[in-house]
Structure formats: structure tokens, C-alpha cells
Chains A and B, each alone.
Chain A
Amino acid sequence: MIDLIWLGLFLAGVTTAMFTGHMQQVTVSILGGAEHGVELSLALIGVIALWNGLMGIAEKAGLIDTLARVLRPVARWLYPSVPENHPAMGAILANMSANLLGIGNAATPLGLRAMRELQTLNADKETASDAMCTLLAVNTASITLIPTTVIAVRMQYGSTHPTSVVGTTIIATALGTVAAIVLDRGFRAWDKRRRRG
């Protein structure tokens, strides 16, 4: 998939350049683009380091556990098929908390642990369970409080208010997550009806 997109962007570009006569600019942009990518990732070091450092403190202070306690009723409603004291519930809650805080580095391993725990509850080991589908819906939409990478890139490009996107991001991701949960529930009901025939 990623191969096709990468190839597609190049081929579409080079083919268009044959007709528009922009081949000279394309040559420059190949070399310029590479430099651009390096500049951008170097510019990201500061903000990512800052955020990871803060989250190191937050984790040791038990912030993820605190957040997990607050989120427990929500998780019980989202995952009715998971027993309350099952280790899967703990992993799901830790994953939700890490996502909310924008600790992507921590969220993925926690999410994978949740998947392993959910697999122990799954009757058919090759087919996704309801709870697994919900976990993915919530993770791909994921509510974000502080979009760290985007803020860092905005700074790099001379924004005078780099954090001004915090408000719009919270609203957009909250709406997106609601949509994901509604879609998940809707498709689950439709899937159940279809299977019963």
C-alpha cells in the first residue's frame, strides 16, 4: 500500500512534468525535499524530548493510574464483554489513558498488551472479537489533548501561536471518537443480524 502511494506520487509528478515542462523544478525539488525532511525531523527533537521528559515524570507520579480510575466507568460501558477484573480491562484502561495524554510511545505497547489479553477471551482465534474491534475504533480515532508533533512543526514554520490548534484538535478528536464508537456499535449490530441470517 505504502509502496503504491510512494510510487504513485513520483510517477504522477514525473509524468505531469513531461507535459508542463517543469522538469527542471522537479530535479531541484528531489534534492530540496530530502533536505527538508532532515530539517523537519531535527526540528522535532526539542518538542518530542520535552514531552517525553514530562511524561516520564507523569508516569512515575502515577498519572496514568489516576486517569485509568476516572476512565473505568467509560471502559465498562465500551467493553461489556470484558469481565471487570480481567487483566484485559487494566491494559485497555492504560492504553486509553496514554492515548489521551498523547504518549504515543507508551500507547502502542499498551494497546498490543490489551490485544493479547483480549485474545485470551476470544473464542475464534482468527476472527476479531467485538471488544477488539472497539479497541481499534477508539485507538484509530483517539482523543488528543496536546498534538505535540503538529505544534512542533508549526513552531518550525514560524507560527506566532503554535498551540492555537489545541482547542480545535480537542473538539475534532472528541467528535471523531464519538463517530467511531457510534459506527462500531452500528456495524456490530448489523454484523450480528447478518450472521444470524
Chain B
Amino acid sequence: MQAAIATVSNWLLPLLVAGILVAGYIKRVPLYHSFVDGAKSGFGTAIRLLPHLVAMMVAVEVFRTSGAMDLLTQGLAPVMSFLHIPIEVLPIGLLRPISSSASLAFMTHIFQDPKAGPDSWLGQLASTLQASSDTTLYIITVYFGSVGIRNFRYALKVGLLADVASVFASVLAVTLLLGPMP
């Protein structure tokens, strides 16, 4: 099972790239031009992220280097260990539904930590957490706002509870594929 998923992880991207190119060729899509055309927008997307990442990176760095981060994690450690969620990823889970730049900034701190790094168990969990949810609050505001809906009914509750479920699902997925936390 673990070996099979590892293979999927390694093969999916190359196979997907090859598959898209072949499908495009069969459908007589001008491959190179379509690629370049699409890729152009990548620059704009990344640059649009820049101010958000600067804003959040600064705030998160201040929070961390001041020692506030350690206070928070120490304070909540008993609750989190009861829930079987590593305390280090708490800020990612908390901030992911609100600001993906903020949770991304916390993810990079786990990557930079010489004791963890991107390929460690914790790094994989942080990556999965960051990848497995969306900015729920932003999506709900934009989607409902665009058509003038004022009464969201239960949509916000469902979105936030699903985010909590995603946190547990991420821990479960990483435990399933990489074994229990070392």
C-alpha cells in the first residue's frame, strides 16, 4: 500500500505532463504556442502573491522570533497531544481557512527548521495541511458576495467544520503513508 502510493506520487506528474501533451497533439492543439501563452500568466500570478507573502512573512517572523509562538505551542500542547495532532502544525491548521499566505509562512518555518525540513514527517504533514484545504472564509465571502446573498444559512459552519475534518484527514493520510509520527 505504502509502496504503491509512493509510486503514484513519483509517477503522477510525469505521466500527467505526457498525457496532456499527447492529448493536445491528437486534438491538433498547437502545443508549444498554447503552453507559452498559458505560462505567461504564471508570472503575473506569482507577482500578485508577492505583497501578500511579504505582509504575512513579516508578521509571522515577528510572532515566531519574539517567543510568542513558543508560548502558544507550550500552552496548547496538552490539548493537541490529546487530539494526536503535532503541536508544530497548529498555526497552519488555524490560519489556513483565513489566509493561505499566513499558513504558507508557517509551513516554511517547519521547512527551515534543521530538526524537521520539508522531507521529514512533520514537513510532509505541514505540506499536506497546506495543500488540503482552501481559504474557506475568502471563498464564501466572494462567492456569496458576487450574487448578493446575505443569509449564508449553514454554509460557513459546514466550511469550517470541513476544515477541521481536513486537519484530522491530513494527520491520518500522513500516518497511513509514512507510519506513525517518529
B98 CB → nearest A CB, Å: 6
User: Would you call A1 and B172 a contact (CB within 8 A)?
Assistant: no
Given A56-B37, A56-B38, do A187 and B13 touch, yes or no (CB 8 Å)?
no
User: Would you call A166 and B63 a contact (CB within 8 A)?
Assistant: no
Counting from the closest, the 6 A-B pairs by CB-CB distance are A56-B38, A49-B42, A147-B131, A53-B39, A37-B54, A33-B61
B66 adjacent to chain A (CB < 8 Å): yes
User: Would you call A33 and B162 a contact (CB within 8 A)?
Assistant: no
User: Would you call A133 and B132 a contact (CB within 8 A)?
Assistant: no
Can you list 29 A-B contacts with CB-CB less than 8 angstroms, sorted by A residue number? A14-B62, A22-B65, A26-B65, A26-B66, A30-B58, A33-B62, A41-B46, A41-B53, A52-B39, A56-B38, A115-B143, A124-B151, A128-B144, A128-B151, A128-B155, A136-B140, A137-B159, A139-B139, A140-B139, A141-B166, A146-B13, A147-B131, A165-B124, A168-B128, A172-B166, A175-B172, A176-B162, A176-B166, A184-B154
| CB-based nearest B residue for A180 | B162
B68 adjacent to chain A (CB < 8 Å): yes
User: Would you call B57 and A36 a contact (CB within 8 A)?
Assistant: yes
| Majority-rule SS of A interface residues | helix
Interface residues of A (CB under 8 A from B): 1-2, 5-6, 9-10, 12-17, 20, 22, 25-26, 28-30, 32-34, 36-38, 40-42, 44-46, 48-63, 105, 108, 111-112, 115-116, 118-119, 124-128, 132-133, 135-137, 139-142, 144-147, 149-150, 153-154, 157-173, 175-176, 179-180, 183-184, 187-188, 190-191
Cα distance A36–B53 when bound, in Å?
A: 8
User: Would you call A179 and B165 a contact (CB within 8 A)?
Assistant: yes
Q: Tell which of A10, A146, A161, A168 has the most Cβ of chain B within 10 Å.
A: A168
Q: Which residues of A contact B39 (CB under 8 A)?
A: 49-50, 52-53, 56
A180 CB → nearest B CB, Å: 4
Q: Which residues of A contact B132 (CB under 8 A)?
A: 144, 147, 169, 172-173, 176
Interface residues of B (CB under 8 A from A): 5-6, 8-10, 12-13, 16-17, 20-21, 23-24, 26-27, 29, 31, 34-43, 45-47, 49-50, 53-68, 71, 95, 97-99, 102, 104-105, 107-108, 111-112, 117-119, 123-124, 127-134, 136-137, 139-140, 142-144, 146-155, 157-159, 161-163, 165-166, 169-170, 172-174, 176-178
Q: Which residues of A contact B161 (CB under 8 A)?
A: 179, 183
B28 CB → nearest A CB, Å: 9
Cα distance A105–B43 when bound, in Å?
A: 13
